[in-house]
Amino acid sequence: MNDLYVYYKVRAADAADLAPRVRAMQAGLGAGQLKRRPEEQDGVQTWMEVYPAAPDGFLDRLGAAVAAAGLSARIEGPRHTEVFTDLT
């Protein structure tokens, strides 16, 4: 299993509207943590979704959930996904 880290930019003015949408999407997936950097830059925040121990096929489910929730229209720029695995 891999851990997924997804980060993206959010306008501070949109944060109050976006956060419940992301949390609802994560609840529907049954997984996820939502974090953000403590500082803003030019009215923009950096958010991160964390999905530890994501099972096979989860990235496809996540993509479908993001599309269904309409998240891409509410963020600044693309979502960046990083995949990490445990050292053995």
Span 32-51, pLDDT tens digits? 999 999 999 999 999 999 99
Q: What is the pLDDT, as a whole number, of residue 44?
A: 97
What pLDDT was estimated at residue 13? Answer: 95
Smallest CA-to-CA distance from 47 within 2, 13, 5 is with 5
* The residue to which tokens 């030019």 are assigned: 42
User: Would you place residue 1 in the very low, low, confident or very high pLDDT band (cuts 50, 70, 90)?
Assistant: confident
Q: Are 15 and 45 in contact (CB under 8 A)?
A: yes
Q: How far is CA 24 from CA 1, 42, 83, in A?
A: 24, 27, 23
pTM above 0.85, yes or no: yes
Q: Where are the domains of the chain?
A: 2-84
Q: 2-84 — its CATH code?
A: 3.30.70.100
What does the alpha-carbon distance between residue 68 and residue 2 come to, in Å, rounded to a whole number? 24
Whether residue 88 is predicted with pLDDT greater than 90 in this model: the reply is no
Tokens found for residue 29: 């997936």
